[in-house]
Amino acid sequence: MGNVVGVKDYFTVAGGARLQGTVKVDGAKNSVLKLMGAALLAEGTTTLTNCPDILDVPFMKKVLEGLGCEVDYQGDTVTIDTPAQLRSDADFDAVRQFRASVCVLGPLTARCGRAKVALPGGDAIGNRPLDMHQSGLEKMGARTYIEHGAVVAEAESLHGARIKLDFPSVGATENILTAAVLAEGTTVLDNAAREPEIVDLCDMLVSMGAKIEGAGTSTITIEGVDKLKPTQHEVIGDRIVAGTWAYAAVMTQGDITVTGIAPRHLHLPLEKLKSAGAQVETYEHGFRVRMDRRAKAVDYQTLPFPGFPTDLQPMAIGLSVVAEGTSIITENVFESRFRFVDELLRLGADAQVDGHHVVIRGQESLSSTHVWSSDIRAGAGLVLAALCADETTTVHDVFHIDRGYPAFVEKLNALGARVERHREETLY
């Protein structure tokens, strides 16, 4: 058997950069994939605009094509032609590559009366079981079980139910919503996720003919309808990418204006930056963050929206390692998210993990070295930390970053960074 050649990209990041300028945020990764899945609910052509150029969009395209859809992806527009008869088994190879693929579970159960979705893969940030997804569908009349590495849901018909989530899970909220819109009767979902991406999904479903009240609150009421129609919808801006740029401005003592985002979606993260000493101005569709000195240490704890987002926790840690003073960061959502700290220790950070907490003593600069990304946000956080190092840092496994940050290198360099992408071939 001959050798197999594997190709991996890595970044080299020059330290000492001060980021300055304007950057536009694309559509939200955590929204576009779920909206693509929701297109399964209506026969015909659904069009999504303001879609981000990230690896996960082609992954979801492959999932939908495997179910019988025709999907066209040009520029920032995704067009999905959904047939009258869908296949109910989601392709194993496509699904296992990313977590968001499980969002087809609800639509397929509602449209086909059956769904089989391989247990999904994605980021290494901790255990994310499907118990609440299954329990919600079961309360609406489905039978669910795990078989041969896949979750299966079967239902001759779905009916409305009163469902209370143990935790405001975004994924469970989405799957219950997309099943309930075609169920008979009224579904009341208590302790629902309140994230802006949930509101975006509800807005699209309403434009398809769904009857939904309470989006953005902890109680969502869905009155089932017989049929939905295809629609055209613009994806909201990515608040996590926007937040990444905001924290980059403060970490590098820079001045960045971010457009294409509603600042209210980042209220708490921006308030934290103000507490750290930054000047923050907000506009209708963007904000400006300026910092002319070293940041002051601030404490953080991650919580579901409107709390501090777990996806910005690596940026909060990155800022803390170069801030003045001691910070305590508490992770309340994903238990393995502190793997990122091990890489920061390579850069010379003074950080100690204790269960769900990490105590960080900030220092003026970091020491360049080789580091490895473990997930999308950790990868971005490592690049920002590398900008604060003394020399050139090499960031490996950057395919994670490509899954969530469109044109990341190009946008960094346009702001004054010196980041280069390299490709290496490895024999296995």
- pLDDT average, residue stretch 257-284: 97
pLDDT at 134: 93
Q: Tell whether the model's pLDDT for residue 99 goes beyond 70.
A: no
Region 233-256: what's the mean pLDDT? 98
Judge contact between 106 and 75, C-beta under 8 A: no
- pTM exceeding 0.85: yes
The CA-to-CA distance between both ends of the chain, in Å, stands at 11
Tally the residues of the chain. 428
- Three-state DSSP class for residue 315: helix
| Final residue belonging to a domain, choices 180, 212, 234 | 234
Contacts of 145 (CB under 8 A, 6+ apart): 151, 152
Q: Which SS3 state, helix, strand or coil, does residue 367 take?
A: coil
- More confident: 131 or 408: 408
Pick the range with the lowest mean pLDDT from 93-97, 161-165, 166-170, 313-317.
93-97
357 shares a domain with 245 = yes
Same domain, 147 and 16: no
User: Which of 88-92, 293-297, 340-344, 421-425 is least confident?
Assistant: 88-92
Residue 420 pLDDT > 50: yes
The answer on pLDDT for 1 being more than 90 is no
| Residue, of 147 and 255, whose pLDDT is higher | 255
Per residue in 49-89, pLDDT (tens digit) is 999 999 889 989 999 999 999 999 999 999 999 999 999 98
Of 216 and 59, the structure prediction assigns the larger pLDDT to: 216
Q: Indicate the residue among 218, 234, 250 that finishes a domain.
A: 234
Catalytic: 123?
A: yes
According to the model, what pLDDT value does residue 102 have?
87
Confidence at 120, pLDDT banded by 50, 70, 90: low
206 and 280, same domain (yes or no): no
> Which residue's structure tokens are 């089932």?
224
Averaged pLDDT for residues 401-425: 94
| 134 plus 225 within the same structural domain | yes
pLDDT confidence bin for 6, thresholds 50/70/90: low
- Reported in sequence order, the residue ranges of 304-399 that DSSP labels E, i.e. its strands, are 326-330, 350-354, 357-361, 370-372, 392-396
The pLDDT of residue 222 is 98
Residue 206 sits in the same domain as residue 252: no
Summarize the confidence of residues 8-32 as an average pLDDT: 96
Please state the φ and ψ torsions of residue 355, each to the nearest 5 degrees.
65, -120
| Binding-site annotation: residue ranges | 29-30, 99, 311, 333
Query: 44 is in which domain, residue-wise?
Result: 29-234
Weakest mean pLDDT among 31-45, 231-245, 414-428: 414-428
pLDDT score of 123 = 38
- What pLDDT is recorded for position 335? 67
In the listed set 234, 254, 276, which residue is the last one of a domain according to the structure?
Answer: 234
Residues 185 and 298 in one domain: no
CA-CA distance, 353 to 394, in Å (whole number)?
A: 24
What is the percentage of the chain residues whose pLDDT exceeds 90? 84
| Amino acid (1-letter code) at residue 179 | A
Residue 127 in this model has a pLDDT that exceeds 80: no
DSSP state of 184: B
Whether 182 and 216 map to the same domain: the answer is yes
What's the confidence (pLDDT) of residue 55?
85
| Judgement on whether residues 263 and 223 belong to the same structural domain of the protein | no
Q: Please indicate, yes or no, whether residues 220 and 323 belong to a single structural domain of this protein.
A: no
Range 298-318 average pLDDT: 96
Segment 265-290 shows an average pLDDT of 98
Annotated catalytic residue, options 76, 89, 123, 203:
123
Bigger pLDDT: 193 vs 121: 193
Q: Are residues 309 and 263 in the same domain?
A: yes
Q: Annotated binding site for UDP-N-acetyl-alpha-D-glucosamine: which residue ranges?
A: 99, 311, 333
pLDDT in tens, 331-363: 988 766 678 899 999 999 999 999 889 999 999
Contact 45, 72 (CB under 8 A): no
Q: Which of 380, 126, 100, 383 is nearest to 240 (CA)?
A: 380
Q: Are 312 and 301 in contact (CB under 8 A)?
A: no
C-alpha 216, offset from chain centre: 17
pLDDT at position 295, please?
A: 97
- Binding residues for phosphoenolpyruvate, as ranges, are 29-30
**Average pLDDT for 289-294:** 97
pLDDT given at position 124: 40
Residue 111 has a pLDDT of 96
Q: Would the CA dihedral through 53, 54, 55, 59 be positive or negative? A: negative
Same domain, 44 and 188: yes
What is the domain-level CATH number for residue 326?
Answer: 3.65.10.10
Confidence of residue 119 (pLDDT cuts 50, 70, 90): confident
How far, in Å, are 19, 171, 371, 404 from residue 10 at the CA level? 21, 31, 10, 16
State the total domains in the chain: 2
3-state secondary structure of 404: coil
Residues 346 and 407 in one domain: yes
Q: Which of 41-45, 85-89, 100-104 has the lowest mean pLDDT?
A: 100-104
Average pLDDT, rounded, for the chain: 92
Residue 293 pLDDT grade (very low, low, confident, very high; cuts 50, 70, 90): very high
Helix (H, G, I), strand (E, B) or coil at 425: strand
Query: Rounded CA gap, 365 and 199, in Å?
Result: 40
> Per the structure block, which two tokens stand in for 7?
């190709």
Q: CA-based angle 306:208:231, to the nearest 5?
A: 100
Q: Over 60: is that where the pLDDT of 45 sits?
A: yes
Stretch (H or E) spanning 81: strand 77-82
